[in-house]
Amino acid sequence: MALKQQQSDKDEKHQQKQHKFVSEPKEIDLPTSSSDNRWRQLLWLFLLSVVFRLFSAHFLTEFFQQNPLFSTPWSSLKRLREGLFLYRQHNSDHKTVYDGDLFHVLPIFIEIFRYSLDKPILLHFQWMVFDLLTAYYTSRFVKSYIASGQQSDFRRSQWLEVLAFGGYLLNPMTIGCWMVGSLSSFVNLLVAMSICFMMEGCVLCSVLPLALAIQLNPYYAILFCPIFIRFTGSRRFAAIFYAILASIGFFLLNALLLMNKGSYDGSVPDMLRCTFGFFLTVPDLTPNTGIFWYFFTQVFEHYPLLRENPSLLAVHFMLIVALFSPYPSYAETALYLPAMTAFFDLHKFLRQRLLVGCALVAIFVLCPIMWSMWVITGSGNANFFFAIVWVFNLTQVFVAADLLSAFLRERIVTSYGAGDQEEMERQFEGIRLITVSPF
């Protein structure tokens, strides 16, 4: 009995040791130590970003200010200063901030930035705070998204959080926007706050920043869609209600600011024309990182000339429909190709006739073959069919470009004759891009 008692005591002690061995790692407070290290990393990244910004401010100020890549007509700090000047001078000469076509920001943002625009140091500090908070909310969004996964990894989420934080603060694009004081930095902060609180499940805090952001850039209104999808049931209806209420509230606040300044008569339509209408009509074609300015200055520049020949314009638009409609077929192409024979006098100015003709024959033969290989025999995949469809659409692009170029060449020859070579070369200089570009 004594031996059994001793053996049972040994077994209990052994089990206690095993239990202690298994449970001891759980008592180690890894998150606290890792969290301290994370905050230390975030602090070093912030200090490094400050150094980069000070270096850029000392050596690269002129480069950033003259570069159109960091500022646009609606986010330009220079135009915001001009709007503030007109805002202050209204009572003296009865001018509103929307006289002319230089200012494209709502009055609420004049009130937000009016006290820092005349103080460069305060302005740079304010934009630094914008960047810091944007990096913080972006990293917080990343951490929340990873933590919401079924197999969330604490260490991985912290590492990616630090990566997102530094990826924004140390990004040369962010530093350039800080240098020029682009209003896009403020919009980035509002959008980062919105997606962060959306991920964390806060309805009101996700809707309000986005409602304010679309007062500067209306295209961000599309982000309301994921917010409405994120919430379910009554919270979704609450998000929709808050979005509508906040958008209307900010608009009424802007109108109230105009009335308070004594410029209500005719100013609200001007405000809409110069802000939201500015994004819809694209009147300012200053070069930027987008493609709209190029299309309106190079691609669409020649279309007004087709007013002289509405029949050619109709055929060209038929080609555009065949090219850009979501559900095209051979039927659209079969319509505009024979219609092009009406412009027989332009055929001698076409430069891609052989290329386009051979391509259309090859496409007509290969399209059913690629379809059969993908769907019927199974010896290919969707890429086979898409490749030949892509070539078909590229061929139509060349047809559109060549037809428009031929019209312009014929117009120049008719206007100046074949003898004036210098004038013809000068005129052809403007449409040389059409010959090279598919547009």
Tens-of-pLDDT digits for all 439 residues of the chain? 454 455 555 555 555 544 444 444 343 333 443 566 777 888 888 888 888 888 877 777 777 777 777 878 888 888 888 877 777 766 555 566 777 677 788 888 888 888 888 788 888 888 899 999 999 999 999 888 888 875 566 677 778 888 888 888 888 888 888 888 888 899 999 999 999 999 999 999 999 999 999 998 999 999 999 999 999 889 999 999 999 999 999 989 888 887 775 544 457 777 888 888 888 888 888 877 777 777 777 777 777 778 888 888 888 889 988 888 888 888 888 888 888 888 888 888 888 889 999 999 999 999 999 999 998 888 888 899 999 999 999 999 899 888 888 888 888 887 776 555 565 556 555 544 444 343 3
Residue 128 class from Cβ within 10 Å (0-12 exposed, 13-18 middle, 19+ buried)?
Answer: middle
For 75, phi then psi, to 5°, come to: -105, 5
Evaluate whether 97 touches 86 at the Cβ level (below 8 Å): yes
DSSP 151: T
Classify residue 123 by burial, with Cβ atoms within 10 Å: 0-12, 13-18, 19+: middle
Q: How far apart are CA 336 and CA 315, in angstroms?
A: 6
Task: Residue 275: name the closest of 69, 80, 71, 66 by CA.
Answer: 80
DSSP string, 345-407: GGGGG-S-HHHHHHHHHHHHHHHHHHHIIIIIS-SS-HHHHHHHHHHHHHHHHHHHHHHHHHH
**How confident is the model at residue 28, as a pLDDT?**
34
